């Protein structure tokens, strides 16, 4: 079969890399490769098949099975030992365990080839569609009804079978976990439990925030900004009570002094009697403010609970096909059912750290991704050769020089957290350019670190450095979606979906090395026999 493909065909490089330059022991540990009965397929072969398939934009296990029988490159990888689609799907479903080691091994190989420029790295999020439909989303009430219907259907089936076969066990029943067709009932239960847990967590966080505002106000140090609805109502009630109490004190004091004057002189006081508490202007103003705050809180509550019915938003829902996926807003409007992938990319477009999240926003992931990127930088520096064979100069030194991120990551915490230098946008890119040219004054930023960053991005040097973010961060996303054709996950559930995404990023890195000329047969020959550090370290 070596005559079927040219000697410089990239499939030979992929086969050589997997066989001789990557540690695939984690894949071997979970597969049957011998013993009684038919031996299992070689895990190295299955890994190579999937690497080549994902690089060619093929993710369907049935399509992979067909190509293994008809496509020359796939047949060369399989060497005639053709796996069926069930074998491919089951092998891919077990990626959650070994994928971290595989991703690190590919990254270490790229570092040994002279890649991994860390002078400037960029963080960006990318929405990826899950293996689930938006139509499979259900509200909490609908999920509860589905769960009740499933329980009732099971009870009716059990009763019918008891009438037909008897209620006593026969001893030859199939174990409960041996056959679970689709596990739909479990997915419904998981979706309902997740929705209720998230609602409880949000309610607890809301109560904690409101109590914090109330405690700060009681201590005489009220917090700045708009108060939560519940805290605003409670503070408005407290102001009404204080105003009434203060006016009542005035009334009682006047009455006491009048009584004393009558007892002493027989004449009442000449000063005017204070109005009753409910007639005081300050009390009436406090009551009006309370009514306004209560109306605003009620409107917010109706909007939160009735957004689905009124068509103002998707409302709190869960997907019964993939309960871990979420409705994600996308550029241009609308939603997809999917995940939010966080990727840290090097100057030469290697994805050095990645995480598949179910958060709609990016901001909370800056610090976790920065920590992972620093671990990846240590791995790259440990495997970097003394004299880099690849084109281009090395970075400014060990570790990460600067981190670039868009406005979705802008917060005081992210700007002031420990770590390397960073440029985080405080607004849209076009607004940064206008501010740098002095065409606008900008916004009034709430925090001092944000003000400093806004001023830094007004300079030509800061803006020029930040403008590199789009090319560094978004080029890998475009390559994965458009060139590799990977727009939708095939695995369901966050652990398996995250493993598939990490595998896709590893394939991207491997073929980035091939396409840039770093990974060649000569480079692999030069690496043979050279000492390496374990990538898992």
Is 117 in the same domain as 198?
no
Interval 312-347: pLDDT, tens: 444 577 888 888 888 898 888 888 999 999 999 999
Please state, in angstroms and rounded to a whole number, the distance separating the CA atoms of residues 10 and 135. 41
Is 163 in the same domain as 300?
yes
pLDDT for 198 equals 73
Cα–Cα distance list, 312 to 203, 307, 308 (Å): 21, 5, 6
Least confident of 124-128, 208-212, 285-289: 208-212
pLDDT exceeds cutoff 90 at 277:
no
pLDDT exceeds cutoff 70 at 384:
yes
Is 251 in the same domain as 345?
no
Least confident of 12-16, 128-132, 171-175, 271-275: 171-175
Please state, in angstroms and rounded to a whole number, the distance separating the CA atoms of residues 362 and 354. 13
Interval 149-164: pLDDT, tens: 665 665 566 666 665 6
- Specify the higher pLDDT residue, 157 or 462: 462
Is 250 in the same domain as 265?
yes
Contact (Cβ atoms closer than 8 angstroms) between residue 273 and residue 256:
no
- When pLDDT is averaged across residues 445-473 and rounded to a whole number, the result is 88
Is 180 among the domain residues?
Answer: yes
- When pLDDT is averaged across residues 285-310 and rounded to a whole number, the result is 71
pLDDT band at 34 (very low <50, low <70, confident <90, very high): low
- Specify the higher pLDDT residue, 483 or 218: 483
pLDDT band at 179 (very low <50, low <70, confident <90, very high): very low
Is 173 in the same domain as 278?
yes
- When pLDDT is averaged across residues 338-367 and rounded to a whole number, the result is 94
Cα–Cα distance list, 267 to 252, 255, 271, 275, 372 (Å): 18, 13, 12, 21, 84
User: What is the helix (H) or strand (E) element at residue 340, kind and residue range?
Assistant: strand 335-345
User: If you average pLDDT over every residue of the chain, what do you get?
Assistant: 81
Write out the two tokens for 252: 């009682």
Least confident of 91-105, 149-163, 420-434: 149-163
State the number of CA atoms in the 13 A half-sphere of 390 facing the CB.
26
Is 528 among the domain residues?
Answer: no
DSSP code string of 424-452: E-SS-HHHHHHHHTTS------SSHHHHH
Contact (Cβ atoms closer than 8 angstroms) between residue 357 and residue 340:
yes
pLDDT for 297 equals 75
Contact (Cβ atoms closer than 8 angstroms) between residue 351 and residue 479:
no
- When pLDDT is averaged across residues 273-292 and rounded to a whole number, the result is 86
Give the position of tokens 């049935």: 62
pLDDT for 242 equals 85
pLDDT exceeds cutoff 80 at 95:
yes
Long-range contacts of residues 453-459, Cβ cutoff 8 Å, at least 24 apart: 453/410, 453/415, 453/423, 453/424, 453/426, 454/426, 454/427, 456/423, 457/423, 457/425, 457/426, 457/432, 458/432
- When pLDDT is averaged across residues 168-172 and rounded to a whole number, the result is 55
Centre a 10 Å sphere on the Cβ of residue 330 and count the other Cβ atoms it contains. Answer: 11
State the number of CA atoms in the 13 A half-sphere of 146 facing the CB.
21
Contact (Cβ atoms closer than 8 angstroms) between residue 457 and residue 426:
yes
Is 347 in the same domain as 409?
yes
Least confident of 216-220, 267-271, 369-373, 387-391: 387-391
- Final residue of a structural domain among 36, 62, 93: 93
Contact (Cβ atoms closer than 8 angstroms) between residue 227 and residue 266:
no
pLDDT band at 299 (very low <50, low <70, confident <90, very high): confident
* DSSP-derived secondary structure letter, 342: E
Is 43 among the domain residues?
Answer: yes
- 308 by Cβ neighbours in 10 Å (0-12 / 13-18 / 19+) ranks as middle
Is 392 among the domain residues?
Answer: yes
Please state, in angstroms and rounded to a whole number, the distance separating the CA atoms of residues 317 and 29. 39
Is 77 in the same domain as 148?
no
State the number of CA atoms in the 13 A half-sphere of 344 facing the CB.
29
* DSSP-derived secondary structure letter, 102: H
Is 288 in the same domain as 431?
no
Strands, E assignment, 74-211: 120-129, 137-139
Q: What 3-state class would DSSP assign to 537?
A: coil
Is 88 among the domain residues?
Answer: yes
Closest residue by Cα to residue 346 from 231, 168, 518: 518
pLDDT for 416 equals 93
How many structural domains are present in the chain? Answer: 3
What is the residue range of 452's domain? 111-132+326-493
Is 507 among the domain residues?
Answer: no
Least confident of 292-301, 312-321, 499-508: 312-321
- When pLDDT is averaged across residues 363-370 and rounded to a whole number, the result is 95
Residues 6+ apart with CB under 8 A from 21: 109, 524, 527
Is 505 among the domain residues?
Answer: no
Among 221-230, 245-254, 380-389, 404-413, the range with the most confident prediction by mean pLDDT is: 404-413
């Amino acid at each position: 079969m070596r005559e079927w493909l040219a000697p410089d065909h990239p499939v030979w490089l992929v086969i050589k890399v997997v066989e001789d330059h990557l540690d695939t022991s984690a894949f071997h540990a979970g597969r049957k490769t011998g013993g009684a009965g038919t031996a299992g397929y070689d895990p190295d072969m299955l890994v190579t098949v999937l690497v080549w398939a994902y690089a060619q934009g093929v993710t369907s296990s049935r399509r992979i099975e067909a190509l293994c029988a008809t496509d020359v490159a796939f047949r060369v990888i399989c060497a005639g030992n053709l796996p069926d689609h069930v074998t491919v799907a089951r092998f891919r479903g077990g990626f959650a365990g070994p994928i971290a080691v595989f991703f690190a091994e590919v990254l270490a190989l790229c570092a040994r080839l002279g890649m991994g420029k860390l002078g400037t790295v960029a963080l960006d999020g990318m929405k990826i569609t899950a293996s689930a439909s938006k139509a499979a989303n259900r509200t909490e009430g609908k999920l509860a009804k589905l769960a009740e219907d499933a329980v009732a259907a099971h009870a009716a089936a059990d009763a019918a079978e008891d009438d037909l076969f008897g209620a006593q066990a026969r001893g030859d029943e199939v174990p409960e976990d041996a056959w679970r067709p689709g596990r739909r009932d479990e997915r419904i239960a998981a979706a309902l439990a997740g929705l209720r847990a998230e609602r409880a967590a949000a309610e607890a966080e809301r109560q904690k925030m409101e109590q914090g505002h109330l405690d700060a106000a009681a201590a005489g140090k009220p917090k700045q900004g708009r108060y939560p609805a519940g805290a605003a109502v409670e503070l408005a009630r407290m102001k009404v009570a204080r105003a009434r109490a203060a006016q009542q004190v005035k009334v009682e004091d006047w009455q006491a002094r009048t009584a004393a004057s009558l007892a002493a002189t027989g004449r009442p006081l000449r000063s005017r009697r204070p109005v009753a508490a409910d007639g005081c202007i300050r009390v009436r103003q406090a009551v009006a403010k309370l009514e306004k705050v209560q109306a605003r809180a009620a409107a917010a509550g109706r909007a939160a609970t009735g957004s689905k019915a009124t068509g103002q938003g998707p409302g709190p829902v869960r997907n019964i096909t993939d309960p871990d996926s979420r409705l994600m807003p996308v550029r241009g409007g609308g939603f997809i059912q999917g995940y939010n992938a966080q990727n840290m990319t090097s100057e030469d477009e290697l994805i050095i750290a990645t995480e598949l999240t179910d958060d709609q926003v990016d901001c909370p992931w800056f610090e976790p991704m920065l920590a992972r990127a620093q671990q990846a930088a240590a791995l790259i520096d440990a495997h970097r050769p003394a004299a880099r064979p690849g084109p281009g100069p090395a970075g400014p030194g060990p570790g990460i020089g600067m981190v670039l991120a868009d406005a979705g990551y802008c917060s005081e915490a992210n700007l002031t957290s420990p770590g390397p230098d960073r440029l985080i946008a405080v607004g849209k890119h076009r607004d940064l350019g206008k501010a740098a040219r002095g065409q606008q004054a900008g916004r009034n930023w709430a925090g001092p670190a944000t003000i400093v960053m806004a001023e830094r991005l007004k300079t030509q040097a800061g803006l020029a450095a930040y403008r590199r973010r789009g090319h560094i961060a978004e080029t890998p996303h475009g390559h994965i979606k458009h060139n590799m054709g990977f727009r939708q996950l095939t695995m369901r559930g966050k652990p398996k979906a995250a493993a598939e995404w990490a595998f896709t990023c590893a394939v991207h890195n491997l073929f980035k090395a091939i396409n840039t000329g770093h990974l060649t047969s000569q480079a692999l020959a030069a690496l043979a026999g050279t000492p390496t550090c374990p990538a898992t370290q």
